[in-house]
Structure 1
Amino acid sequence: MYLLKNSFRYSRFVSIIFSLVTFSINSLRRSRFVALLSFTAEKIINIYSISCLRRFVNSLFYPARLWGFIDRLNSRLNFNLLKPDRIFILAYASFILVSSYTISLKALVFLLVTLVFFVFGFTLARRVSFTRADFESASLKAGVLLYLFSLLCLMLDIYYVREIPLLEPIARKKLSVLLTYTSTFIVLAGLIIASYIAWEYYNGRRNRSDARVKVFALALTTTFLVTLLGFRTQTLVSLLGFTFVMYRYALIGNFEIISAMASGLLAISALGAYRAIRIGYALGISHVIGKRVGVTLSIYNYIVNNLFYVSHFSGYNVLLTGVYHGRIAIATFSSFLSFIPGPSLGPRTIVAREFGVTGVTLTSTLLGPVSLDLGLIGSILFLFILGVIIGLAFKNSIATASPLATAFFSILFAYLLVGIETGLVDFNVFVLFSVSLFISIAYMAEGRKR
């Protein structure tokens, strides 16, 4: 670990990154535009100070007797649930157990080997030290601006379609890819604002009831808005992300986080059942989870078993190196940015074509696309990198209590949990993970200056 820290300290590349980060931060602080944005953000947030609105919202989101009862329950459930590596392993195990399909021993061993490297990467990243940096006010301004911009994109996206995709699932195919991707950043923006409000309570600048009401109102509003797009992934990411933020700053306890996860699972199943009914399939809520998970796991199982089979009989070790040799990874970028050479189809579409399916995409768990693309070696590296990025984001949030760090950890971890089923192959998700890594470096840069 000593060598790792020294290599960070004396690396020219990292020094250049540190200099760029410091220059960007200083430029942002001196900007007149930031001052104007700060004024706008303050006015928007302080709308809640209107007394009649505050009384209405308090009665709706903060019934004193109910919260008193919940707080008494939390006092009896006094243990730390927020352990990302353990939650991830437990979530993956639960995903397999609720499935209507049983995977082979080969597919299970393949999965277990990669999960070991996720835990290793997470543990290694947690040993890196962080120093608190004064990014709070800048993060609030950036959060409000991003929220307004994402909301505008969401409204334009729905306006051009002339239908609400939540109510008409077929309308999702008409959505603009660019506007839809940009619209999903409303969740990140909401988490940044919520983290700042919760951070004020955490530091004694705001009372608990006031912070709870504002964060709950923001969480419900943001989740409702992003759900209009009709994508279950974004709904669940929003629910989980706000839950992690509130738990990190002690706005909620173990009772609420367990209830939120159960509610999220129920919501995603209900949305899936509704969409199935709308397109002519009669599926109950209880069947959605098992059947969908079963289909996803069966695709992953088929991919891994075929890698073993081809490696054994053909003499080509595709089990270790995969079939596409990076083309599926490149498709994450080339399918969104046309100037990048590579496949025009998205990763999930490429997986679907492997099974002779056209017109729809197929999910194959977190490991399906990367195992088909890069084999066991690529899957190990992929999970290790995820572990490092999640570990850095988590350690940054815990060590500095920063709203920005907490917001990014919350959304990354939410995407990771949802990605167990859907995979992490979308361009916007790559952007989030990359920016989170950049922010971790920024906090290390501030610590290095001191």
Structure 2
Amino acid sequence: FKSLLILVPSLIAVILLAYRTEVVALLIGYLIVAYYLELVKFIEIGIAVIMSSLLYIGISVLRYWLIGVAFSPLQTVLIRNTVTCSNLDLLIEKFGIGGLTKGSLHWAVLSSMFRSLPGPKIAPRRIVAFLLRGTPYISMTSTLYGPLIIDFGLIGAIIILLLYGFIVGLGYGLSMKPNCKPLLGPYSTIVAYTIVAVETGLLDLNVYIYIAISIAILLASIKVHR
């Protein structure tokens, strides 16, 4: 349990942001590093998983409560996940093979924040909502696959995810080499946010930055650790 206490200060700071993604990603990333460094036992991993689940549900309930929507904790989880999977089904039906936006949806992560850049000026998840519901005034998630299907179609999404999987595998291989344990940091960052993105999608600038820096560190380490 002592090893879990190391996480508490960072966890409190991230919880204050009120973003579920960062909270869950922090816990997952910590577990990955701690597991490979043999800092945690199986029971501690179980406790951390339960903590992650409770925090996710708790923050979800709090957010709905703040906007005046009353859901039970169970309803909060089931409704969000059901809607997200339903959104993916609709996207596959509409844009399954060829895609539609040819990269514009992911580019909107930048162009919606930096107005001087060409491209869409609304956030990516609002574009998803517009394509599905005809309104840009709400945001909708569609799993990790949905945005890729909108941009590149089903085949393009598969190719991109295969390349991404290669990078994850490369990170694992590098971090498992002798004297390469510091590389568990970037590797765990990529894996943690990818796991979370299975539900939320990779459509946040800060996550892009985390993953880009992590990939750059892993690629730079190839020459060093040959």
TM normalised by structure 1 equals 0.48
- 1:35-46 mapped onto 2 (5 Å cutoff): none
- 1:36-435 mapped onto 2 (5 Å cutoff): 62=2, 212=3, 216-307=4-95, 319-354=96-131, 355-435=133-213
Query: 1:338 offset after TM fit, Å?
Result: 3.3
Q: Greater shift after overlay, 367-376 or 399-408?
A: 399-408
Corresponding residue of 1:197 = none
Corresponding residue of 1:19 = none
- In structure 1, what is the Cα distance between the partners aligned to 2:53 and 2:81? 12
- In structure 2, what is the Cα distance between the partners aligned to 1:227 and 1:259? 18
- Contact kept, 8 Å, 1:389 with 1:433, in 2: the verdict is no
- In structure 2, what is the Cα distance between the partners aligned to 1:348 and 1:378? 20
- In structure 2, what is the Cα distance between the partners aligned to 1:305 and 1:363? 16
- Contact kept, 8 Å, 1:393 with 1:436, in 2: the verdict is no
Cα deviation 1:250-309 (Å, max 9, x = unaligned): 0102222233122211210121112222322221111211111001111111111223xx
Gap change, CA 1:218 and 1:253, over 3 Å in 2:
closer
Counting aligned pairs with the same residue, the percent is 31
SS of residue in 1 equivalent to 2:102: coil
Query: 1:402 offset after TM fit, Å?
Result: 3.1
SS of residue in 1 equivalent to 2:40: coil
TM normalised by structure 2 equals 0.91
Query: 1:401 offset after TM fit, Å?
Result: 4.9
- In structure 1, what is the Cα distance between the partners aligned to 2:218 and 2:51? 31
5+ residue gaps, structure 1, are 1-60, 63-211, 308-318
SS of residue in 2 equivalent to 1:321: coil
- In structure 2, what is the Cα distance between the partners aligned to 1:337 and 1:404? 34
SS of residue in 2 equivalent to 1:251: coil
Query: 1:333 offset after TM fit, Å?
Result: 2.3
Could you say which structure has the larger radius of gyration?
A: 1
- Contact kept, 8 Å, 2:98 with 2:153, in 1: the verdict is yes
Query: 1:348 offset after TM fit, Å?
Result: 0.8
More helix by share: 1
Q: Greater shift after overlay, 227-236 or 253-262?
A: 253-262
- In structure 1, what is the Cα distance between the partners aligned to 2:164 and 2:179? 22
- Contact kept, 8 Å, 1:236 with 1:418, in 2: the verdict is yes
Amino acid at match of 1:290: L
- In structure 2, what is the Cα distance between the partners aligned to 1:393 and 1:400? 14
- In structure 2, what is the Cα distance between the partners aligned to 1:299 and 1:356? 13
Amino acid at match of 2:42: N
- In structure 1, what is the Cα distance between the partners aligned to 2:11 and 2:219? 30
Query: 1:428 offset after TM fit, Å?
Result: 2.1
- In structure 2, what is the Cα distance between the partners aligned to 1:381 and 1:333? 23
Amino acid at match of 1:239: L
- In structure 2, what is the Cα distance between the partners aligned to 1:339 and 1:446? 38
- In structure 2, what is the Cα distance between the partners aligned to 1:263 and 1:430? 26
- In structure 2, what is the Cα distance between the partners aligned to 1:447 and 1:405? 11
Moved over 4 A (4+): none
Query: 1:372 offset after TM fit, Å?
Result: 1.2
- Contact kept, 8 Å, 2:189 with 2:214, in 1: the verdict is no
- Contact kept, 8 Å, 1:233 with 1:418, in 2: the verdict is yes
Gap change, CA 1:382 and 1:336, over 3 Å in 2:
farther
- Contact kept, 8 Å, 2:186 with 2:215, in 1: the verdict is no
SS of residue in 1 equivalent to 2:176: helix
Query: 1:403 offset after TM fit, Å?
Result: 4.4
- In structure 1, what is the Cα distance between the partners aligned to 2:116 and 2:184? 34
- Contact kept, 8 Å, 2:112 with 2:123, in 1: the verdict is yes
Aligned residues: 225
Cα deviation 1:142-188 (Å, max 9, x = unaligned): xxxxxxxxxxxxxxxxxxxxxxxxxxxxxxxxxxxxxxxxxxxxxxx
Please, what is the CA RMSD of the aligned residues?
Answer: 1.8
